[in-house]
Chains A and B, each alone.
Chain A
Amino acid sequence: MTAGALPSTAARGAVRFKDVRPGRIVAWTLLAMGGIAMVMPLVVMISTSLKYPHEVYDLNLIPVEPTLENYLHIFQNTKFLRWFVNSLIISILTTASVVFFDGLVGYVLCKFSFRGRQVVFVAILSTLMIPTEMLVIPWYLMARDFGWLNSVWGIMFPGIMTGFGTFLMRQFFEGVPDDYIHAARIDGLNEFQIWWRIAMPLVTPALSALAIFTFLGNWTAFLWPLIATSNRDLYTLPVGLASFSGEFATEWEMVMAGASLATLPTLVFFLIFQRYIIRGVMLTGVKG
C-alpha cells in the first residue's frame, strides 16, 4: 500500500511534505487563531491587572508601565490571602479524603464478595442523580443545628466522598488481577494493607485524575461555600472574590488582579501537569 494510492491515509499519521496543501494550511491557521481567541480573555485579564488605572481602558495588551501595585493593594487592604489559604486547605483536605474513601469503597465494591454488595453499589451510584442544589437546604439546616456554619468542616463536609469517584475507582480496580491480591494475602498482609500497598499503587492514573478533578471542583465551588459562610474570615476564594469585586466594581484593574489571583494557580498547575490533566479528562470522560 503506497502513500500515492491512498493519499488521505496519511492525514492521521505523521506529517509528510505532500500533506502540506493549501486547505490544510487554512484549517491549521483557523484553528490556531481560534485557540488564541480562546485564551485572549485571560491575556487581557492578566495584562489589565498589571496596569495603572489611567491605562485600563486602552486596548494595548502590553502595559506601558507595568506595575504590581494592584496586587499589593489587594493583599494589604482585603482578606484575599486568607481566602486563598482557606480555599487551599479545603481543596487539599477534601481531595485527600475523596481519594482515600472513594478508593477504598471502589475497591471493596470491586474485589470483595459479600451479601449486600450490589445494594450498596447501586445506592452509591444512584447518588450521582441527586443535584447539589437539592441538598443545600437540608445541608444548611444540618450545619446550622450542629454549629458547622462558618467553619472549614462546614464548607467541606458535603464533598468528602463522591459517588462519581467511587464508580470511577471501582471500574479501574477491575483491571487489577485477583492473583496479586491472593498472593498478598498468602504473604500475610491484612486486607487494609493489600488495598493500600498493593491495589492502590496499581490504579495511580485513575487516582490522579480523580484528585485533579476533585481539587479543581473544590477550588472553584461557589454555591455551597456562599451559603455556608457569612463570616468574611471563612470565605473561600470564589466567595471572597465575588464580594470583593462587588465592592471594587468600578476599579476594574483591581477586579482583574483579584480574578488573576484566583485563576493563576490552576493555570500554572495545568501548564505543569497538562499531559496528566488531558489524559485524565479523556479517561474519565470516556469511561464515565
Chain B
Amino acid sequence: MSGLYGRLSIAGKQAVWAWAFLALPVLFYVVIRFWPTADSFLISFYSWNLLGTPRFVGLDNYVRMWSDPTFWLVFRNTFEYLIIGTPVSIVVAFVIAYYLDQVRFAHGLIRALYFIPFMTTAVAMAWVWRWFYQPVPIGVFNNLLSELDLPTQPFLRSTEQALPSVLAPAIWAGLGFQVVIFLAGLRAIPESYYEAARIDGAGKWMILRRITIPLLRPTVVFLVVISSIGFLRIFDQVFNMTDGSGGPLNSTKPLVLYIYETAFQSYQMGYAAAQTVVLFTILLLITLLQLWLLRSK
C-alpha cells in the first residue's frame, strides 16, 4: 500500500490527499444537500400523507396550487414582506450609514447601538414585540399612544395592520447588519475621488449622487439580494406573533409558514414539496438576477 503511494508522482500524491480530505464532505453534500433537493422535486409529483404508499399524480400538486386561493394569498403576502421590507430597510440603513460615516464622536458606540438588535434571537424578539402590540392596558405602544391622547391601534388584531406589524421587528433586527455593510462600502471608496470632485467644485448633493451612490452599486445589489431572500423566507416572526396561524384570516401568512402547515400539520407532503419547489425557483431567479446585475457593469 505505502509502496504504491511512494511510487506516485507529486501530482498523484496530491490527488490522493485531496480526495482523502474530500471524501466525507463530498458524501455530506451528496446525501444532505443534493439528494434532498432532488427528493423534493420527486415528492412534488406524488400524493402522500406520510403513512400510506406515495401515489404518483404527475403535475396535480402544481395544478392544485394554481387554483388554491390560500396559496395566492400567501404568495401575495410573501411579496408584500419583500416589497415593503427591502426598500424601507435599505433606504433607512443607507441614511444612517451615510451620516454615521461622517461622525467621529462616539462613532463605535452609536454603530454598536444600531447593530445590537442583529445579535438577538428572532423568536425572543417576536414575543417582545408581540407584547408591545397588545391593546390597552397591556401593550407598550398602545399605552404610549393613549398617554399622548392619540387613538390606539389594533396592530396584530387587524388584517390590514398585522403584516406591517410583523414585518417591523424583522426590519429592526436586520438594520444594523445593513448599516455595517454600507459603512464598509462607503469606506472602500477612495478619498481621492471625493477630493477630485471637491476641487471640481461639486457640492455635497452632487458628490452623493455622482460618486457615492454609483460606487456603492455592488453593495446595494448585495444588500437588496440578501434582504430580499431574507424577507421571502420570513417565518420565525410570523409563527411566534400569530400563534403559528399566520392570522388574522391568513393576512400575515408567508409561503414558508404555509409549507410548514401543509407538510407538518396536514401531512400533505407532495403538495408541500411542490410549494418548496416554487420557493426555490423564486430564490434562484433572484440570485441569477444578482449575478446578471453585477456582471453587466
Chain A residues within CB distance 8 Å of chain B = 6, 8-9, 11-12, 14-15, 24, 27-28, 30-32, 34-36, 38-39, 41-42, 44-45, 57, 59, 101, 104-105, 108, 112-115, 117, 120, 123-124, 127, 129-142, 157-158, 160-161, 163, 166, 191-192, 195, 216, 219-220, 222-223, 227, 237-239, 241-242, 245-246, 252, 255-256, 258-260, 262-263, 266-267, 269-270, 274, 277-278, 281-282, 285-286, 288
Contacts and interface: CB of A to CB of B under 8 A. Distances in A.
A239 B28 CA distance: 26
A277 B131 CA distance: 30
Contacts of B40: 134-135, 137-138
Contact of A133 (B28, B119, B198, B233): B233
A167 B229 CA distance: 19
Nearest to B139: A57
A57 B273 contact: no
B33 A138 contact: no
B116 A267 contact: yes
B276 A267 contact: no
B205 to A, nearest CB: 12
B19 interface: yes
A57 B180 CA distance: 35
16 contacts: A6-B195, A24-B103, A38-B175, A101-B25, A105-B21, A117-B18, A131-B280, A137-B263, A137-B273, A227-B260, A237-B121, A252-B138, A255-B131, A259-B127, A262-B124, A274-B112
Tell me what chain A mostly uses at the interface: helix, strand, loop, or mixed.
helix
B195 A123 contact: no
Contacts of A6: 195, 198-199
Contact of A131 (B108, B128, B233): B233
Contacts of B287: 129
Interface stretch (B67-75, B82-90, B159-167, B182-190): B182-190
A39 B175 CA distance: 12
A163 to B, nearest CB: 8
A245 B18 CA distance: 49
A246 B243 contact: yes
A31 B36 contact: no
A282 B283 contact: no
A286 B116 contact: no
B73 to A, nearest CB: 18
